[in-house]
Amino acid sequence: MPSKVRIALDAMGGDGGAAVVIPGAAISLGRHRETEFLLVGDRAKIEPELDRYPQLKATSKIIHTEVAVSGSDKPSQALRRGRKTSSMWLAIDAVKKGEADVAVSAGNTGALMAMSRFHLRTLKGIDRPAIAGLWPTLRGESAVLDLGATIGGDAHHLVALALMGAAMTSVLFDKKRPTVGLLNIGTEEIKGHEEIREAGEILRARNLPELDYIGFVEGDGIGKGLVDVIVTEGFSGNIALKAAEGTARQMAELLRNEMKRSWLSKLGYLFARGAFQALRDKMDPNKSNGGVFLGLNGLVVKSHGGTSAEGFAYAIDVGYEMAHYDLLNKINQMLNREGGALNSVQAAQEAVS
């Protein structure tokens, strides 16, 4: 693992741009002193922010560009117009050239994925990349993928997601053999689409040493933390994510309204405010910020666009962990072990069919 972790930050991405990215980098640097930053964006906007953080300034280099990818740009437009000149592209390019170990951006998700896939390409044996995120659960956190990078996928794709998710959680949760489940409409083996059932049969038959496959998990099992890794294709994964985020906001609003309804409820809040604060901390989206693009020849982390400086710092932390513990090498080892795990999986898939 590298002694120094070099992180390229898209300082123009997201709703706040440099006003969020720079303070976020300063927060993360306080937790990881062995970090160096490449700050990519408009020097005139970066330097005033950077002057407020002398320690960050001492370990940072600015790559100047005034071109930023808009949140409304379609991926094809962003790739055409922002290629080679935008802050997003140049952050990814730093990873491509080996000048950075990981790139972090709060910019347009579709554009970031399109640029990352075009410039970094996918790993051998991986057809399509995925977005993996951390999900707060009753038992801590679980990794969920794919959260919307691609729509659909056959059994081979789902098994590849399982391998990559296991590699990611082995880094983040320090587990040698993370538990993995396939998201499905029921736990019975006869339920679900054919590709999900096939993936389940393959994972059970292979009994891969990198992961402990426990079977199908229903939607309510995600929040229960039944497994370390939840695997699904991008369409279902994105719907699950947005539904969970919406439910969390709804519950918070309902709770606020109830607390204001009567003097008795206000008094109850005073006695229980410690518990409510703990609940807010547990459900704080900032602390689960940072979606990892898996399956690429390089590390890229996507932050929520509207996050705070603290939230962006958590996304940087995720990138730091992925680089420090050599996630790419772990994924490659998993894919290539025993003559190529995915080749064996594909053979097993053909045997099952």
What is this structure's pTM? 0.84
Position 174 scores a pLDDT of 84
Measured CA to CA, the distance from residue 245 to residue 242 in angstroms comes to 5
Position 266 scores a pLDDT of 67
Q: Label residue 271 exposed, middle or buried (CB < 10 Å: 0-12, 13-18, 19+).
A: exposed
Closest CA to 116 of 241, 288, 302, 290: 302
Cβ contacts of residue 174 below 8 Å, gap of 6+?
none
Residue whose pair of structure tokens reads 């609940």 in the numeric block = 279
Q: Name the CATH code of domain 1-120 (choices 3.40.718.10, 3.40.50.1240, 3.30.230.70, 3.40.605.10).
A: 3.40.718.10
Position 127 scores a pLDDT of 83
Measured CA to CA, the distance from residue 199 to residue 184 in angstroms comes to 11
Residues of the chain with CATH 3.40.718.10: 1-120, 126-291+327-353
Measured CA to CA, the distance from residue 91 to residue 323 in angstroms comes to 15
Type of residue numbered 91 = A
CB of 112 within 8 A of CB of 9?
Answer: no
Position 339 scores a pLDDT of 39
Domain 126-291+327-353 has CATH 3.40.50.300: no
3-state helix, strand, coil in the chain (%, to 5): 50, 20, 30
Per DSSP bridges, beta strands 299-302 and 102-105 are: parallel
pLDDT tens sequence for the chain (353 residues): 557 899 999 999 999 999 999 999 999 999 999 999 999 999 999 999 999 999 999 999 999 999 999 888 888 888 887 778 899 999 999 999 999 999 999 999 999 999 999 999 998 878 889 999 888 888 888 999 989 888 888 898 999 999 999 988 988 888 889 999 999 998 888 888 889 999 999 999 888 888 999 999 999 888 898 999 999 998 998 888 888 778 777 777 777 777 777 766 666 656 566 655 655 655 566 666 888 999 999 999 999 888 899 999 999 999 999 999 888 888 887 777 643 545 554 555 455 44
